[in-house]
Homo-oligomer: A and B are copies of this chain.
C-alpha cells in the first residue's frame, strides 16, 4: 500500500478523487487538505457520510511529506506550483491537476502568469497515457491534462497525419457546469444555465494553446486550432465537435480503430457519441465522419473524471508501478 494525499478536497475534482481512492486496492488516503482546513469532510461532502471520514487539514507541504508518498493537487493554477515545488523537493510524487506544468514555459507565461518552478516544469510529463504512458511511469511529476484538451487531443490525434494544416481546425465544445467549479457565480446560478446554452471566451480559452502544443509535439506540425467552449444545462460531461480539412479521403472509423486498438479507455462508436454513455467513467468515446475531405470528429468524456480525477488516478497508478486500471471507473451512471 502506498500512502497518498489529496490537497484541495473541497471541490468536485477533490470529491471524485475521494470516491475512487476510498476503495483503491493499493492506495491509502492518509492526508486530506483544503486551503483553510478545519472543516469536516462530511460537511464538505455529505454524500460520504457513513462511507469515509478523516480530518481535513490546512494544506502544508511538510505535513504531507511525513504522511504520504504521492500527492494529488486539486488546486487553482499558481497555488499549485508553490506546493508542487516543495513536495518534489521532499521526495513526494505529484499529480498536479492544475495547468501549472502542462505547457511549455513561454506558452504558460503568455496565457497564465510568471512561472515559479521552472526547474520542474521542464521535467513534468503531460499525463495523457495514450500519448506518454512510458514517460508517466518514470516521472515524479505529472501535469494532468485539462478537460477540453483531453477530449480534443484524443479525438484529433489519430488524424494528425491526414489533416491539412493549411486550414484551421475549429473546435466547438460543450461542457457541463461542474467544469465551471463549485463556486457560485452568475454563470453557475441555476437560472443562468437551465433552459439555456451560451459560448464563453470564444477563440480565447486557455485550453486552446494546450491543444495546439500537444498536437505539435506529437505530429511535428503546427495546427491552427480555434476553440469555442459552451456551457450547457448538465452537471457533468463534455463534448467536442471538431471540424477540419483532410489532405486525402480516409475511412475515419478505421483510422480510429487502428490507432486505439490496444487502448482500454478509448471507445470508438459508429454513431455520434453522447454525454451519458461515458459520464461516470474514464472512457473517452469517439465518433468521426467525413464528407469528401471534410472531417468531423465527435468525442465525449466525463469532464471531472477522464477530464480530471480518474485520469489523475490512472497517472498515479502508472507512476507507482501499478496497473493503470486500478480503481478506475468504467461503468457509466446512465440512466
**Residues of chain A whose beta carbon lies under 8 Å from any beta carbon of chain B:** 12, 15, 19, 22-23, 45-51, 167-168, 170, 172, 174, 176-178, 182, 184-186, 188-200, 202-203, 224, 226, 228, 230, 232-237, 239, 241, 243, 245, 264, 267, 269, 272-280, 283, 289, 291, 294, 296, 298, 304, 330-335
Which B residues are in CB contact (< 8 Å) with A178?
Answer: 191, 335
Counting from the closest, the 5 A-B pairs by CB-CB distance are A184-B184, A47-B332, A198-B274, A170-B243, A199-B272
Q: Are A47 and B296 in contact (CB under 8 A)?
A: no
Q: Are A189 and B190 in contact (CB under 8 A)?
A: yes
Q: Are B190 and A177 in contact (CB under 8 A)?
A: yes
Which B residues are in CB contact (< 8 Å) with A283?
Answer: 50
Closest partner residue, chain B, to A20 (CB atom): B331
Q: Are B177 and A182 in contact (CB under 8 A)?
A: no
Cβ distance A323 to chain B, nearest Cβ, rounded Å: 16
Which B residues are in CB contact (< 8 Å) with A167?
Answer: 167, 245
Contact of A202 among B15, B272, B304 (CB under 8 A): B272
In the assembly, what is the distance between CA of A185 and CA of B196, in Å?
19
Which B residues are in CB contact (< 8 Å) with A186?
Answer: 184
Q: Are B203 and A51 in contact (CB under 8 A)?
A: no
Contact of A276 among B47, B168, B273, B280 (CB under 8 A): B47
Q: Are B184 and A189 in contact (CB under 8 A)?
A: yes
14 extra interchain contacts, Cβ-Cβ under 8 A, other than A47-B278, A197-B274? Answer: A45-B334, A47-B276, A168-B243, A170-B294, A174-B230, A177-B194, A190-B235, A195-B237, A197-B237, A202-B272, A202-B296, A233-B233, A235-B335, A280-B333
Which B residues are in CB contact (< 8 Å) with A176?
Answer: 195
Interface of A is mostly: loop
Given known contacts A49-B269, A304-B335, A202 and B237 CB-to-CB distance under 8 angstroms: no
Which B residues are in CB contact (< 8 Å) with A195?
Answer: 176, 194-195, 234-237, 275-276, 279
Contact of A331 among B19, B230, B273 (CB under 8 A): B19
In the assembly, what is the distance between CA of A51 and CA of B331, in Å?
7
Q: Are A296 and B190 in contact (CB under 8 A)?
A: no
Q: Are A203 and B234 in contact (CB under 8 A)?
A: no
Could you pull out 23 A-B pairs where Cβ atoms are within 8 angstroms? A12-B191, A47-B277, A49-B269, A50-B267, A50-B283, A167-B245, A174-B197, A178-B191, A178-B335, A184-B184, A188-B189, A188-B190, A194-B233, A195-B275, A196-B234, A196-B237, A197-B234, A198-B239, A198-B274, A203-B294, A226-B291, A230-B241, A232-B233
Contact of A275 among B23, B182, B197, B278 (CB under 8 A): B197
Closest partner residue, chain B, to A239 (CB atom): B197
Contact of A335 among B12, B226, B273 (CB under 8 A): B12
In the assembly, what is the distance between CA of A46 and CA of B283, in Å?
13
Cβ distance A169 to chain B, nearest Cβ, rounded Å: 10
Given known contacts A170-B170, A189-B190, A196 and B274 CB-to-CB distance under 8 angstroms: yes
In the assembly, what is the distance between CA of A232 and CA of B239, in Å?
12
